[in-house]
Amino acid sequence: MSDATSPISSRDLAAVANLRIVPRRFYGRWVAVAAILAILAWLVMAFVEGDIAWPVVGQFFTAPAILSGLGNTLIMTVCAMTLGIVLGVIFAIMYMSPNPVLRGVALFYIWFFRGTPLLLQLLIWFNLALVFPTIGIPGVFSWRTIDIIGPFMATLLGLGMNQGAYTAEVVRGGILSVDAGQTEAAKAIGMTRLTTLRRIVLPQAMRVIIPPVGNEVISMVKLTSVASVIQYAEILRNAQTIYYANARVIELLIVAAGWYLLVVTLLQIGQYFLERHFSKGRGGRRAKRAAVQEEAA
Q: Could you tell me if residue 221 is inside a domain?
A: yes
- Beta partners for 135? 143
Q: Could you tell me if residue 146 is inside a domain?
A: yes
CATH of residue 219: 1.10.3720.10
Task: Write down the mean pLDDT value for the chain.
Answer: 85
Q: Could you tell me if residue 178 is inside a domain?
A: yes
Q: Could you tell me if residue 165 is inside a domain?
A: yes
Give residue-wise pLDDT tens across range 61-107: 999 999 999 999 999 999 999 999 999 999 998 998 889 999 999 99
Strand pairing category for 134-137 and 141-144: antiparallel
Q: Could you tell me if residue 70 is inside a domain?
A: no
Where are the strands (E) in 210-255, listed by range? none
Q: Could you tell me if residue 18 is inside a domain?
A: no
**Domain that residue 157 falls in:** 76-228
Mean pLDDT of 25-51: 86
Q: Could you tell me if residue 15 is inside a domain?
A: no
Give residue-wise pLDDT tens across range 125-155: 999 988 888 888 877 778 888 888 999 999 9
- What was the pLDDT predicted at 6? 61
Interhelix angle for 118-126 vs 151-176, to 10°?
140
CA 95 to chain centre: 22
> Contact, 134 vs 145, CB < 8 A?
yes
Number of domains in the chain: 1
pTM of the model: 0.77
Separation between Cα atoms, residue 110 and residue 96, nearest integer Å: 13
Q: Could you tell me if residue 242 is inside a domain?
A: no
